[in-house]
Amino acid sequence: MSGLRLLALPLVAGAAILTLAAQPVTGAAPPNGAVIYNRCAACHTATGKGIPATYPPLGADFRKLASKPGGRRYLVLVVTRGISGPLTVEGKPYRNVMPAQAGLDDAAVAAVLNHVGTRIATQGPAFKPFTSAEVGTARASGASMTGNDVARLHTAVGGG
Ligand code: HEC
C-alpha cells in the first residue's frame, strides 16, 4: 500500500531536521573588532588620525566620551544611527556625514568600539570595554534618532 510510503516520507524528513537541530552550534566565531575596523578606516584612517576638516580623529575625544555613561551611549549611537554635524572634535569643526554602519549586530558594535578604545584611541582616561548588552540598551534608546540628533548629543555628553 502506498499509505505506508506516504507516512514514511515525513518521518525521514523529520528525522533529518532533528539530526540538524542536534548539531552543536559551531563556526559562530566572536566578531573580530580589528577586521570590522577596516570599514571605519576607509574614512577615519588606519591609525584613527582622521582627515582634517573631513573625518574626525578617533583619539582623545573617543576615550573621554567612553569614560562617561552618556558618552558611551553616544558612541554606540554614532555607529548604529550615523552622525551628521556640525560637530567639534578636539577643537576642530566638522560638518560632514557618517552613514549608520549597517549589518553590525550588538556584539559586532561592541567589538569594533573595543578595538578603537584599546588599539586606535590610546590616549586618555582608562577604557572600560563595551558589552553586547550595553550596546543593545543604547541602540534601543536611540532607535528613532537621526544623525543630526546624534551630533547634538555630543556637546551635552562632554565631547569637544
Ligand atoms: C564614510 C565615512 C565613515 C565611515 C565608514 C565611518 N565614519 Fe565615523 N565619522 C565619519 C564622519 C564624517 C564623522 C563626523 C560627522 C560630522 O562631521 O558631523 C564621523 C564621526 C565619528 C565619531 C564621533 C567622534 C567624536 O569624537 O565625537 C565616531 C566615534 C566614529 N565616527 C566612529 C566610527 C566607527 C567606529 C566606524 C566604523 C564602524 C566609523 N566611524 C565609520 C565618517 C565615517
| Residue range 105-135, pLDDT digits in tens | 999 999 999 999 999 999 999 999 999 999 9
CA dihedral 90→92→97→99, nearest 10 degrees, is -10
Q: Is the confidence at residue 1, as pLDDT, over 80? A: no
- Which atom from ligand 1 is nearest to the alpha carbon of 113? 35
Q: Alpha-carbon distance 153 to 32, whole Å?
A: 28
Residues 6+ apart with CB under 8 A from 143: none
Residues 6+ apart with CB under 8 A from 1: none
pLDDT digits (tens, 9 = 90+) for 13-49: 545 444 445 545 556 788 999 999 999 999 999 999 9
| 48, 59 contact by CB (below 8 A) | yes
Kindly provide the residue ranges of all beta strands, DSSP E only, lying in 51-95, ordered along the sequence.
83-84, 87-89, 92-94
What is the distance in A from the centroid of ligand 1 to the CA of 55? 7
85: Cβ below 6 Å to ligand 1?
A: yes
| 45, 116 contact by CB (below 8 A) | no
154: Cβ below 6 Å to ligand 1?
A: yes
63: Cβ below 6 Å to ligand 1?
A: no
- Which atom from ligand 1 is nearest to the alpha carbon of 90? 26
Domain annotation for the chain: domains and CATH numbers: 31-156 (1.10.760.10)
DSSP structure class, residue 118: I
116: Cβ below 6 Å to ligand 1?
A: yes
151: Cβ below 6 Å to ligand 1?
A: yes
pTM of the model: 0.87
Q: What angle do CA 136, 140, 141 make, to 5 degrees?
A: 115
For 30, half-sphere exposure in the C-beta direction (CA atoms, 13 angstrom radius) is 10
Which helix (H) or strand (E) covers residue 98, if one does? strand 97-98
- Which atom from ligand 1 is nearest to the alpha carbon of 116? 35
- Tell me which residue has its CA closest to atom 40 in ligand 1: 40
